[in-house]
Structure 1
């Protein structure tokens, strides 16, 4: 059995929302607002840590679990937003990376 990929996640999120009749709530505006809230919760987990502490946060089982959960929430809302808007996340990221390479060439 292969590991789940982005297409599997998208399908699972669609089914999850459909099974609960949440499509009416999953507007781009609402999903973007929810994503912002989840990013804020992720930031809160790291906010007052030193650079060294933040780099080692996953070494602490409790803090690491909270960070992992918040990253999961961010991924879910970002993926759902992209799906609702018809944006291919991988393509969008590749295009941004190519643009950044042009704007910021390596020395």
Structure 2
């Protein structure tokens, strides 16, 4: 299961391999490219959900804990006022 997920992540990575940074909303992408991206993102998500289920991991709970942990580890940088 994990190796199948890795394969799907590889397919997802290929989509971005030659594009470099992308703008929010993918304004310069063709609709067919956006649809393909959605399919690959869905594949990764479905494998991840299935793997978490097999392992007995509650992804919602794990994600919530990780968000808190990251907020402590990487607090927002203070904005400078002039």
Taking structure 2 as the reference length, what is the TM-score of the superposition? 0.83
Q: What does residue 7 of structure 2 align with?
A: 37
Question: Are the structure 2 counterparts of residues 54 and 101 from structure 1 closer, same or farther at C-alpha, using a change threshold of 3 Å?
Answer: closer
Higher helix proportion:
1
Q: What does residue 83 of structure 1 align with?
A: 53
Q: In the alignment, is residue 99 of structure 1 matched against residue 63 of structure 2?
A: no
Q: Cα deviation per residue 1:30-65 (whole Å; 9 max; x = unaligned)?
A: x11111110110010111003246861684111111
4+ residue segments displaced more than 6 Å: none
Q: How far apart, CA to CA, are the structure 2 residues paired with 1:74 and 1:91? A: 19
Gaps of 5+ in 2: 78-82
Q: In the alignment, is residue 51 of structure 1 matched against residue 21 of structure 2?
A: yes
Gaps of 5+ in 1: 1-30
Match for residue 66 of structure 1 among 19, 32, 36: 36
Aligned length: 77
Counterparts of residues 19-30 of structure 1 (less than 5 Å): none
Q: How far apart, CA to CA, are the structure 2 residues paired with 1:54 and 1:44? A: 19
Q: How far apart, CA to CA, are the structure 2 residues paired with 1:42 and 1:54? A: 17
RMSD: 2.0
